[in-house]
């Protein structure tokens, strides 16, 4: 993967950035295998409370998993992936900490939609200097529910949200004409590619009604300036390992 000279400018303009083929085939295969252990219910290291299932599936199908990096070093080491970290540092500065890791499994035919939202309303941090890296473990396209980003929406600040009723994505954005006026981009990427997005960028995804899964692995990075503002809202331990100096 080659670094582009306009990385920071593009990210600041759109609120998201596509990194094609950020991981080599063997690297993404290792991560894919580890995520399959979770999806297939064989990851004994992951506490039950860190897994959410798709509603009304029999047998149960994994929808989300959280904080894998605190329980399996494969994920922690992947979060330090040098080509990815180099881009994150261009955006956030040199010293980077890892807030979270997540799996969005989006299983074939039953994967449910993710409502339109920003990430920041979920998180008790300031300032808003967090970036999520969405890593494609499968080819992600319109048919299987690729992520859709609203370009420039991060410039609007933190917007009102209400309960969505969706397990694993409990908040949804209140209708706002400013969002409706901005372009939404369905971002299709190949396996091994990565999408970086700002913590205030509005995004969503459709249900997966296709015969192919759309697994995404997410790492959430934060600058060294970010501080925890309300420990009572924090899910999981206040353990944010440094992944780059």
Q: For the segment 24-51, what is each residue's pLDDT rounded down to a tens digit?
A: 999 999 999 999 999 999 999 999 999 9
Do you know the residue count of the chain? 245
Q: Would you state the structure tokens that stand for residue 91, as one six-digit string?
A: 């955006």
State the pLDDT at residue 167: 87
State the pLDDT at residue 173: 97
CATH of the domain spanning 7-244:
2.60.120.620
Q: How far apart are the first and last CA of the chain?
A: 21
Please list the residues that pair with 204 across neighbouring strands: 148
- Say if residue 8's pLDDT is above 70: yes
Contact yes or no for 91/7 (Cβ under 8 A): yes
Contact yes or no for 132/220 (Cβ under 8 A): yes
- Say if residue 4's pLDDT is above 80: no
Q: In sequence order, what are the residues at sequence separation of 6 or more whose Cβ sits closer than 8 angstroms to the Cβ of residue 240?
A: 97, 98, 99, 222
- Taking only the tens place, the pLDDT of each residue in 123-173 is 999 999 999 999 999 999 999 999 999 999 999 999 999 999 998 899 999
- Cα(108)–Cα(211) distance, integer angstroms: 5
State the pLDDT at residue 93: 94
Q: From 111, 214, 108, select the one nearest 169 (Cα to Cα).
A: 111
Please list the residues that pair with 205 across neighbouring strands: 114, 147
* Sign of the C-alpha dihedral computed for residues 57, 59, 60 and 62 taken in this order: negative
Q: What are the domain boundaries of the chain? A: 7-244
């Amino acid at each position: 993967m080659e670094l582009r000279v306009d990385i920071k400018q593009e990210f600041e303009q759109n609120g998201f950035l596509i990194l094609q083929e950020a991981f080599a085939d063997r690297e993404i295969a290792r991560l894919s295998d580890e995520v399959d252990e979770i999806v297939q219910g064989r990851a004994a290291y992951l506490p039950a409370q860190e897994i959410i299932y798709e509603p009304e599936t029999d047998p149960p199908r994994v929808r989300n998993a959280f904080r894998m990096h605190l329980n399996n070093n494969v994920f922690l080491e992947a979060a330090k992936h040098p080509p990815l970290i180099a881009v994150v540092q261009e955006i956030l500065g040199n010293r980077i900490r890892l807030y979270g890791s997540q799996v969005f499994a989006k299983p074939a035919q039953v994967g449910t939609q993710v409502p339109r939202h920003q990430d920041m309303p979920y998180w008790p941090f300031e300032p808003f200097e967090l970036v999520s890296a969405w890593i494609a473990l499968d080819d992600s396209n319109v048919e299987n529910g690729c992520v859709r980003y609203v370009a420039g929406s991060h410039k609007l600040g933190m917007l009102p949200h209400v309960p969505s009723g969706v397990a694993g994505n409990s908040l949804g954005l209140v209708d706002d004409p400013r969002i409706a006026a901005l372009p939404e981009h369905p971002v299709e990427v190949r396996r091994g590619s990565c999408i970086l997005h700002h913590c205030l960028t509005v995004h969503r995804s459709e249900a997966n009604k296709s015969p192919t899964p759309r697994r995404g692995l997410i790492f959430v990075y934060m600058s060294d300036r970010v501080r925890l503002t309300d420990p009572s809202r924090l899910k999981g331990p206040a353990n944010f390992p440094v992944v780059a100096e």
